[in-house]
Structure 1
């Protein structure tokens, strides 16, 4: 059995009760933290809290060489952990399909995602979101500014009146016990807003910082204004709203401090 478990958004306690029970019952536990990570807990915190030993796998150790995971699932109960919800990344779908192809039973235990948290914290309606995008560090895509694919997706959503969730790039170096704090880089929301303001300077946007933590931050203003502010510790994301329902407009004003002149009357 291979059980995919989403850890939720923040720390060792963010996992669901169902996920916690499956994790603690597993014979072998694997994890990856290159697609995202918990900023309120490290691997040692997870191991201590759940009384398990976790083998952290690199991207190559999941995508190119998953044999250790699959072998453990063939001979016992293996758990595979990720931050957020476990099936957001195609990497994890590929691993599940490999397991199924070998006759290994699989199970998915979902966790809270940044997407649902962004809707809940901002008051924007979940079904009014269009295609999400990831904004990479300029050096990561070999160019300057914002990739054309990101611009095209945002423009397509705006034309349809839909909100755009913008995930912000992370680069996590790996040490012997998982993510290495000395080699981590997280795109802050002010940096992202500055990049996007080149094309949409006066467009309304919303920053969501540290979703899932005890003290998340939500702030709405123009991209150019958000580019001048600091939003503290990671993880951050941005939302570029489309057409606003009056309840959404009221929520952005009341929950995110959106200036009245940016909202529909």
Structure 2
């Protein structure tokens, strides 16, 4: 049995009750934290809280050589865990399909995701979000500061009057990166987007899932000059706002009246 468990957004307590029970009954637990990371905790606290050992896999160990996970799941109850939800914005459906090809039963225990948190914390209506995009660090894709695909996604969504959720790059277990782990912040993202969208409304969400998340709404070129504290951060570029969305961003994100 292979159970995919989402750990939620922030720390060791963000997991669901069902997810925690799945970890307690698992014979082995494999984890990856290169897709996203629980910045409110560390491996030692995770293992202490769940009274379990986690075997951390790198990208190659999940995507190219998952044999240890699959072999263990053929005879034992195995949990595979990530931050957020294991099937959102990841390639882990490939691992699930490989398990099915070998006759291994699978199930998914979902976790809270950045997608839902972005809507919940800002008051922007979830059904008005269009295609999402990821803004990479400038040196991560071999092109200019902002890939054309990011610009096109934001513009296409705005043409359809939809909001754009922009995931911000992280450098964890990156084969093209030799330095320490690094997380793009909201002000960096706003600065990168300012040339194209500086006069547009932007919304930064910081530390979703923590006890004190931050929501800040302003012109994108103004957000570029702010400090939103510790990661993880998200950036939203809204389309036209409904009245309630406008009220929410003023009340919850301190949006200036002349911007919304």
Q: TM-score, normalised by structure 2?
A: 0.97
2:39 is aligned to 39
Residue 91 of structure 1, CA deviation: 1.7
Q: Give ranges in structure 1 of 5+ residues lacking alignment.
A: 175-181
1:250 is aligned to 247
2:41 is paired with a residue whose SS is coil
* 1:143-158 matched pairs, under 5 angstroms: 143-158=143-158
Paired residues of 2:171 and 2:181 also in contact (CA < 8 A): yes
Distance in 1 between residues matched to 2:144 and 2:227, nearest whole Å: 23
User: In proportion to residue count, which structure has more strand?
Assistant: 1
* 1:119-134 matched pairs, under 5 angstroms: 119-134=119-134
CA deviations over 1:43-78 (Å, ceiling 9, x no partner): 111111111111000000000000000011001100
Q: Which runs of 4+ in 1 moved over 4 A?
A: none
2:26 is aligned to 26
1:62 is aligned to 62
2:108 is paired with a residue whose SS is strand
1:191 maps onto 2:188 in alignment? yes
2:92 is paired with a residue whose SS is helix
2:17 is aligned to 17
1:214 is paired with a residue whose SS is coil
Give the number of equivalent residue pairs: 256
Q: TM-score, normalised by structure 1?
A: 0.95
1:228 is aligned to 225
2:230 is paired with a residue whose SS is coil
Residue 173 of structure 1, CA deviation: 4.0
Paired residues of 2:203 and 2:217 also in contact (CA < 8 A): yes
CA deviations over 1:101-149 (Å, ceiling 9, x no partner): 1000000000000010010000000010000000000100012211001
1:139 maps onto 2:139 in alignment? yes
Residue 90 of structure 1, CA deviation: 3.9
Paired residues of 1:173 and 1:183 also in contact (CA < 8 A): no
User: 254-263 or 88-97, which moves further after superposition?
Assistant: 88-97
2:109 is aligned to 109
Paired residues of 2:3 and 2:79 also in contact (CA < 8 A): yes
